[in-house]
Amino acid sequence: MTEKSNVQAVHDTLLSEFRRDERYILMGEDVGVRGGVFRVSDGFIEEFGKHRVIDMPVAESSIVGIAIGAAIGGLLPVAEMQFADFSAPAFEQIVDEAARIRYRSNGAYGVPIVIRMPWGGGIRGALYHSQSVEAFYAHVPGLKVVVPSTPRDITGMLRAALRDPDPVIFLEHKATYRAVRGDAPDDGEFTIPLGPADVKREGTDITVFAYGLMLHHSLRAAEALSNEGISVAVVDVRSLRPLDAATILREARKTGKCLIVYEDNRLFGAGAEIAALIAEEAFDALDAPVMRLGGPEVPAMPYNKPQEDWFMPDPEKIATKMRELAAY
């Protein structure tokens, strides 16, 4: 084990896999000479050369479209969207092409690409650098959408994504890049399957489901409530497609009181699907309505810090919602 930050876990896992298999290529804006705006690919172009680490034009549709062709041709592309917000121009290529090719070719062709997307708020990035895009892509059969939030999970799930035969949207929360640290395995074969959720904290009174930055905020809120005699279980969903229905339902039934926390706009967010699953399949075990805490109904993250703080769920807001649910 080595202690590292989330961003270091991304860097180290990519580096390990690029050294293991020369078919991997990295494509994106500023990924080469600059080493990425978050320094994820720092040193890559020096070690692997410009034919494997490719600085692309500001044209996300081309980045993904070329990656799809390269994947069909036998390479293993990693396409970086500099910010998840910028994936909108590539939406057609991701949804209409990458996600559909195995189906429309009757299994003859796969698209083994990983599309890395730094996402989320809390960094003063405002409108075009703070969006939560997970619900757009989790809606689409043919894509896998994963959201690991710790160095260990990033290491195992990124390696699994890189070795997956189908397209994976790999979401990395920017606010956790350097703020979250933890142990990660040094074993170059360590993987975590894409799909299973993980219980990060056991509890008996209420169950909270979260992912991304909200996982860490929920863990802090749960710790605060433990001092008030309220026992909170925290489940890291960490995979939105496939969604681990078995674990979600098992943990929901344990307490009968469920809260889903996500920073995306609350309406039609990923938490709505989790809430619907629990309501449909575990209704007989519920002692309270399934509750959600998400972002407000405004079009985008504000620029100034007071309004960004108003938009984002935080440990205090989550703790307040936890108390409401526990008292129901």
Domain ranges of the chain: 2-184, 198-326
Judge if 2-184 and 198-326 fold alike in CATH terms.
yes
For residue 90, the 8-state DSSP code is: G
Torsion sign, CA atoms 179, 325, 274, 237: positive
What's domain 198-326's architecture?
A: 3-Layer(aba) Sandwich (3.40)
Catalytic residues: 129
- Structure confidence at residue 307 (pLDDT): 93
Paired tokens of 222: 């749960």
- Structure confidence at residue 302 (pLDDT): 87
Residue 52 pLDDT > 90, yes or no? yes
Paired tokens of 288: 């309270």
- Structure confidence at residue 199 (pLDDT): 98
- Structure confidence at residue 228 (pLDDT): 97
Q: What is the dihedral of CA 234, 237, 243, 247, to 10 degrees?
A: -30
Query: Distances from the Cα of 27 to the Cαs of 57, 113, 170, in angstroms?
Result: 10, 11, 15
The pLDDT of 240-247, averaged and rounded, is 98
Question: What are 6-36's pLDDT values in tens digits?
Answer: 999 999 999 999 999 999 999 999 999 999 9
- Provide the percentage of residues in the chain whose pLDDT is more than 70: 100
Question: What are 268-317's pLDDT values in tens digits?
Answer: 999 999 999 999 999 999 999 999 999 999 998 888 999 999 999 999 99
pTM: 0.97
Fold of 2-184: Rossmann fold (3.40.50)
Question: What are 183-240's pLDDT values in tens digits?
Answer: 999 999 999 999 999 999 999 999 999 999 999 999 999 999 999 999 999 999 999 9
Asked if residues 60 and 133 have their Cβ atoms less than 8 Å apart, the reply is: no
Question: What are 115-170's pLDDT values in tens digits?
Answer: 999 999 999 898 899 999 999 999 999 999 999 999 999 999 999 999 999 999 99
Residue 242 preceded by cis peptide, ω within 30: yes
User: CB within 8 A of 139, min separation 6: which ones?
Assistant: none
Q: CA 155, CA 162: separation in Å to the nearest integer?
A: 11
Provide the mean pLDDT of the chain: 97
Burial of 214 (0-12, 13-18, 19+ CB in 10 A): buried
Q: How confident is the model at residue 256 (pLDDT cuts 50, 70, 90)?
A: very high
- Structure confidence at residue 208 (pLDDT): 98
